[in-house]
Structure formats: structure tokens, C-alpha cells
């Protein structure tokens, strides 16, 4: 039996049929351009299909129209993880601890502090609370984040992919045998056949040793809107854009010719490649359907924004969409990241339409975005010769059923870019 004698330290994009679920996740979380690159690589390894992607669109800015644009900047690992926390967890001491752990991660996504060091730096936490926080951290995307070492990193990824028991055992009780390439002992301990062992080892070698690495690249990136929303009177219509959606062109003549072969190896080869093609086709269709259904839910929840009746967003969490569509929060998170929607007034990333709820309201629930919009309106309309104090703004908001403390007003005002009272006076 021939096995690779080194543990691959980079994420492998060429996945076998037995890793269909992992391929499905990769396809779902990829943006249009990364997806096109991935499919092109797959087509080079499979003679049964070619890939056609239409990305030949005019360059535009973010003021509407058709086409693609340059991303302003690539999101850092910290920003990506923080977005997930803010959009899935309510403000609690436990969430604060999760954010603290995110701040301690190295560029590759590893948690470098020991539990003892964390207890020394953070007051008023218990071992159970720290365990809960680390569990929540491990559930964030990308899988493997927050691991203490390579073994835990690989284990968390395999667990997220629902890997079989043999894989999980290799990464827990038998990890030393795996790293030392003791294949015979490993096969005997797990009662595996040669092919089963090879398959499981290939799966582990496809995992990433550095899950945070993809967020450290500073290469210039382009975005392609995959959804388009249009106003039709008082209604909105949503459609998948034709550009940016890859098409798999099946090589029927090649398949028919090879399928007629009497050679057993050729028959097995063509059977495997055909199954790989069908799995890829299914995963692409599933990606389109998932992006579309989540897009429809977002447009429905943010109807007033898309109708340009307001500049602020309604309260919306990833958890809300996941519950409405009966999906996992991780599926929603992967789907909205890197996916863009085109409107008549600009191009927006789907995750921009999620806004944290504010706890300051008495009546109807408002989002933080809506509260900030209220403060912005007050500041824009104030008498510039007698600018309002933060306390006065707080009182005005309270009269409007928004109970918000003066210090919170000050924080939001600063985030909006407005200086203190004395510096606003003209």
C-alpha cells in the first residue's frame, strides 16, 4: 500500500467523491470568483466536463449598474469572527468572553493562551464559563478556529464535517500513530482495509492546518453580484444574475466513447469521474437554491431599505433567518459571506443587511442601526449655534420611547463621526 509520508500543511481543494459534504460546504462559502477558480481546477482533473463562466462585464463603481467592482478591503479574520458573534449572540458576559478569546488568536486562528493565563487576565469567570466560551468559539466559521494545537485544529474540522468514527479516532486516541505514519498499526487498531485507511488519510490530509490563513492575504479582490433586486411599483422582485453563475458543460461524446470500453480500469475510471461530475452539479444547484432562499428572506425583512423608504436597517440576526428557513446558523453565515446583491442604488454584501438589536427600546424593537439613524437625524437638525448635549439627546430619545443612556449616545455619536458639543458649535 502506498501512502503519502507527510501531513499536508495547506488546504487541498481537490476533493474526492467521499468528501461530497466538504465540497458542498466549500462551494457554498466561496464567492463567485473563487468558485470559478475552484471549478476550473476540478475540470482539469475530470475529462467529462468543462466550465463556462461569464465574468466579462464592464468595471463599475458601487453606484448601481451591471458588472463587478474591486473590494474596498479584504475582511480580516478578527472582523469575520466578530461579525458572526455580533450577529448570532446577544450581549452577555459570555459573549464578551468569546470576543476576548477571538482577540487572542494568532493569524492562523490558534488560541495561544493557556486556561491559567486567561484566568489571570480576565476577572469573574469560572471554568464552566470558559469552557462554554471556547465551545462557542469552536462553532464559528472557518472550522478549526480557536484550537490550541494542530491535533485539535484537525479534530474540530473533522467534527464539523461529520467525519466517520475511524477519522475521529485517528485524530484523538491514535494521533501519534498517524503523525508517525504507522499505517500497519493504525489499520490494525481501527480494523480498516487498505482502501478505507487510504480514504481516511486522504480526508485528513485535505484539512487545513492554518484555518485563518485565507484572511491574511492582501491581494486585490473583485466582487460579482449573484443576486439582483428590482422595484416593481410597491413590490420587489429577486433574481439570480446570469453573469457569475458557472455552467458545467458535460462532454457527452467523451463519456459515450469511454463508456463503451471493455477495459475494467477504464470502466471504473469513467464511473468515478461521472459520479464526481454529478456530485459537483448537485452541489452547485444546492448553492444557487440556498443563496436564493436566504436572499429572498433578507429582502423581505429589509423591505423598506430596498424600497428606499429608509436608510436604516430593521433588526435582523443570523439566528432569525436560520430559524425562519429551518437552516443551521453556520449555513446562513457561510452563505452571506462574500455574496453580493445588486440594487438600483448600489451593490451590497448580504451580511450588510444584518443589524444587531438594540436593548434601549420601550415599544417596538429597533436595531442599533435604526437608533444611530435617529441620533444622526437629531444632530443634523440641531441649531449649530446651540448644539445639543449628549444628555439632551438622551432625553429626546426617551421622549420618543427610546430609553438610551447618555454614555451610549456619546458612543454612537462618535461612531457616526460627530464631535463633542463644544466642537460642533459655530
Contact (Cβ atoms closer than 8 angstroms) between residue 194 and residue 168: no
Instruction: Tell me the pTM.
Output: 0.51
pLDDT of residue 132: 92
Contact (Cβ atoms closer than 8 angstroms) between residue 160 and residue 208: no
The grid coordinates listed for 291 are 443563496
pLDDT of residue 365: 56
The residue ranking higher by pLDDT, 170 or 73, is 170
Checking phi first, is residue 389 left (phi over 0); if not, alpha (psi -120 to 50) or beta?
beta
Alpha-carbon span 312 to 310, nearest angstrom: 6
pLDDT of residue 134: 92
User: Average pLDDT for residues 159-179, to the nearest whole number?
Assistant: 87
Contact (Cβ atoms closer than 8 angstroms) between residue 353 and residue 313: yes
Long-range pairs for 196-202: beta carbons < 8 A, 24 or more residues apart:
196/166, 197/1, 197/3, 198/1, 198/3, 199/16, 199/18, 200/164, 200/166, 200/167, 200/170, 201/3, 201/4, 201/170, 202/16
150 CA to centre of own chain = 22
- pLDDT of residue 9 exceeding 70: no
User: Average pLDDT for residues 368-394, to the nearest whole number?
Assistant: 82
pLDDT of residue 72: 44
User: For 387, which DSSP code?
Assistant: P
Q: Give the pLDDT confidence of 151-165 residue by residue, as tens digits.
A: 999 999 888 888 888
Please, what is the average pLDDT of the chain? Answer: 79
- pLDDT of residue 43 exceeding 80: yes
Alpha-carbon span 378 to 227, nearest angstrom: 35
Whether the upstream peptide bond of residue 210 has omega within 30° of 0, thus cis, is no
pLDDT of residue 114: 85
Amino acid at each position: 500500500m502506498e501512502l503519502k509520508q507527510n501531513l499536508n500543511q495547506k488546504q487541498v481543494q481537490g476533493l474526492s467523491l467521499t468528501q461530497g459534504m466538504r465540497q458542498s460546504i466549500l462551494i457554498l462559502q466561496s464567492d463567485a470568483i473563487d468558485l470559478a477558480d475552484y471549478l476550473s481546477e476540478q475540470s482539469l482533473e475530470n475529462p467529462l466536463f468543462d466550465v463556462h463562466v461569464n465574468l466579462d462585464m464592464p468595471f463599475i463603481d458601487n453606484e448601481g449598474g451591471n458588472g463587478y467592482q474591486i473590494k474596498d478591503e479584504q475582511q480580516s479574520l478578527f472582523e469575520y469572527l466578530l461579525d458572526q458573534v455580533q450577529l448570532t449572540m446577544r450581549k452577555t458576559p459570555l459573549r464578551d468572553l468569546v470576543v476576548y478569546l477571538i482577540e487572542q488568536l494568532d493569524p492562523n486562528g490558534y488560541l495561544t493562551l493557556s486556561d491559567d493565563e486567561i484566568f489571570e487576565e480576565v476577572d469573574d469567570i469560572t471554568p464552566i464559563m470558559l469552557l462554554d466560551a471556547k465551545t462557542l468559539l469552536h462553532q464559528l466559521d472557518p472550522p478549526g478556529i480557536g484550537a490550541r494545537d494542530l491535533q485539535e485544529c484537525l479534530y474540530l474540522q473533522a467534527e464539523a464535517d461529520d467525519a466517520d468514527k475511524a477519522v475521529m479516532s485517528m485524530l484523538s486516541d491514535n494521533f501519534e500513530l498517524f503523525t508517525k505514519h504507522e499505517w500497519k498499526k493504525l489499520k490494525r487498531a481501527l480494523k480498516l482495509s487498505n482502501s478505507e485507511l487510504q480514504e481516511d488519510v486522504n480526508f485528513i490530509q485535505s484539512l487545513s492546518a492554518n484555518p485563518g490563513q485565507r484572511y491574511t492575504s492582501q491581494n486585490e479582490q473583485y466582487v460579482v453580484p449573484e443576486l439582483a433586486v428590482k422595484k416593481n411599483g410597491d413590490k420587489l422582485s429577486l433574481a439570480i444574475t446570469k453573469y457569475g453563475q458557472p455552467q458545467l458543460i458535460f462532454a457527452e461524446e467523451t463519456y459515450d466513447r469511454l463508456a463503451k470500453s471493455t477495459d475494467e480500469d477504464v470502466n471504473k475510471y469513467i464511473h468515478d469521474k461521472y459520479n464526481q461530475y454529478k456530485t459537483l452539479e448537485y452541489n452547485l444547484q444546492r448553492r444557487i437554491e440556498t443563496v436564493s432562499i436566504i436572499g429572498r428572506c433578507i429582502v423581505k425583512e429589509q423591505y423598506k431599505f430596498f424600497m428606499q423608504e429608509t436608510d436604516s436597517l430593521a433588526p435582523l440576526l443570523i439566528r432569525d433567518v436560520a430559524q425562519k428557513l429551518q437552516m443551521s446558523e453556520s449555513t446562513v453565515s457561510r452563505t452571506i459571506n462574500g455574496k453580493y446583491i445588486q440594487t438600483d442604488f448600489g451593490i451590497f454584501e448580504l451580511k450588510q443587511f444584518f443589524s444587531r438589536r438594540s436593548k434601549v427600546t420601550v415599544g417596538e424593537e429597533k436595531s442599533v442601526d435604526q437608533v444611530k439613524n435617529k441620533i444622526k437625524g437629531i444632530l443634523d437638525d440641531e441649531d449649530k449655534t446651540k448644539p445639543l448635549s449628549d444628555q439632551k439627546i438622551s432625553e429626546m430619545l426617551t421622549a420618543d420611547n427610546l430609553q438610551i443612556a447618555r454614555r451610549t449616545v456619546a458612543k454612537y455619536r462618535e461612531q457616526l463621526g460627530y464631535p463633542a458639543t463644544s466642537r460642533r458649535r459655530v
